[in-house]
A = this chain, B = another copy of it.
Amino acid sequence: MTMNRQIILAERPDGMPDATHLPLREAAMPKPQDGQVLVRTIYLSLDPYMRGRMSAAKSYAASVEVGAVMEGQTVGQVVASRHPEFAEDDFVLAPGGWQAYAAVAGKTLRKLDPAVAPISTAVGVLGMPGFTAYAGLEEIGKPQAGETVVVSAAAGAVGQVVGQIARIKGCRVVGVAGADDKCRHVVETYGFDACVNYKDDDFAEQLAAACPDGVDVYWENVGGKVFTTVLDLFNDFARIPVCGRIAHYNDSGAPDGPDRLPGLMGRILVKRLLFKGFIQFDYRHRQPDFVQDMGAWVRDGKVRYQEDIVDGLEHAVDAFQGLLSGRNRGKLLVRVGDDPTRN
């Protein structure tokens, strides 16, 4: 058998991570212990939350330790099983990490049926990003028919699903993205009513024009300029699910003034805004509803999705930089090994 290949966290980044922080190395092929399964990685999911795991700062999950393999969800195929519920060649969703092979406890795996849905969707629209969109809208955003929902990072893995669910609920949906082709895609493929490029000079005017009745739900994925622009458009009782702040993940320290914190608190009071941070596993009790609803929506073509697949583990770090800077087009995956379900 060949050697394993892994990307480890060699050093904590203080800004944009690169190959010095995340080098590729060869390692011995892992051997599954009793109760474990050896999984060959097909797809590695790259997600913004991973930037947090690279930092020492306390967040909602423990940091990855320096010297350890970077964590991540993978879709893979069983090579060898020492767990009674899994057999060779089974497709599985696994916490495999940034590596070609992983020996993982059978109880952490979920079997995937390629006849039900493409296996890659288990880390996309039918997986964590899709559930993030579903749970945050259901539990915090609560969009009502006729309301206006603004979605930042609208073309991303979560944003694309948020907007489509809000459309299903009968809302006017306005996306915000960082490229004209993303905006076109969001409108043409996902059926958003409008999408505005935040890099345009007249972004604020365009966003206001796209939201003639104000904003009732703002899906916060990004922070920065998009957040402060939409802040001026909130209606009374607007809800803001705070899902991510990708514009700030490489920040170090507070930016220069003026201090806009008192102004934000003032708006929260006067407009009776709701801000709620969340991470999808806070709402895991909604997982069965999600499986049922999203499964049906995807089957019926009411929710569509796009994947951005990069080939080769050796390109994972570059692809992750692209994710943090908005270069990806849809749900970002690294194809680490051959997918026998695609031709």
A residues with CB within 8 A of B: 52, 58-60, 220, 223-224, 227-228, 236-237, 242-245, 248, 251, 253-279, 282
Given the complex of chains A and B, what is the CA–CA distance between A245 and B254 in angstroms?
23
- Shortest CB–CB separation between residue A259 and chain B, in angstroms? 5
Contacts A60-B236, A255-B257, A256-B257 given: A270-B262 contact, CB under 8 Å?
no
**Nearest chain B CB to A241's CB is how many angstroms away?**
10
Q: Is the CB of A223 within 8 A of B257?
A: no
- Sample of 24 A–B contacts (CB below 8 Å): A60-B272, A220-B265, A223-B265, A237-B282, A245-B262, A248-B262, A254-B260, A255-B257, A255-B262, A256-B259, A257-B257, A259-B259, A259-B260, A259-B261, A261-B261, A268-B275, A268-B277, A269-B277, A270-B277, A272-B276, A272-B277, A273-B275, A273-B277, A274-B274
In angstroms, Cα B323 to Cα A289, docked, is 50
Bound form: Cα–Cα A289–B251 in Å = 47
Q: Which residues of B contact A52 (CB under 8 A)?
A: 270
Residues of chain B contacted by A236 (CB below 8 angstroms): 60
Q: What is the oligomeric copy number? A: 2
- Chain B residues with Cβ below 8 Å from A268 are 242, 275-277
Partner of A245, one of B244, B269, B275: B269
Contacts of A254 in B (CB 8 A): 257-260, 262-263
Q: Which of B242, B255, B272 contacts A278 (CB 8 A)?
A: B272
CB distance from A260 to the nearest CB of B (A): 4
For A248, the chain B residues whose CB sits under 8 A away are: 262, 265-266
| Docked complex Cα distance between A10 and B342 (Å) | 77
Whether A251 contacts B262 by the Cβ 8 Å rule is yes
User: What 6 A-B pairs are tightest by C-beta distance, nearest first?
Assistant: A257-B257, A254-B258, A260-B261, A269-B277, A268-B277, A275-B275
Residue of B nearest to A276 (CB): B274
| Distance of A56 from chain B, by nearest CB (Å) | 13
Q: How far is the CB of A163 from chain B (nearest CB, A)?
A: 20
Q: Which residues of chain B come closer than 8 Å to A279, judged between CB atoms?
A: 272
> What chain B residues lie within 8 Å of A275 (beta carbons)?
268, 273-276
State the CA gap A261–B267 with chains docked (Å).
13
Please tell me if the beta carbons of B245 and A266 are within 8 angstroms of each other in the complex.
yes
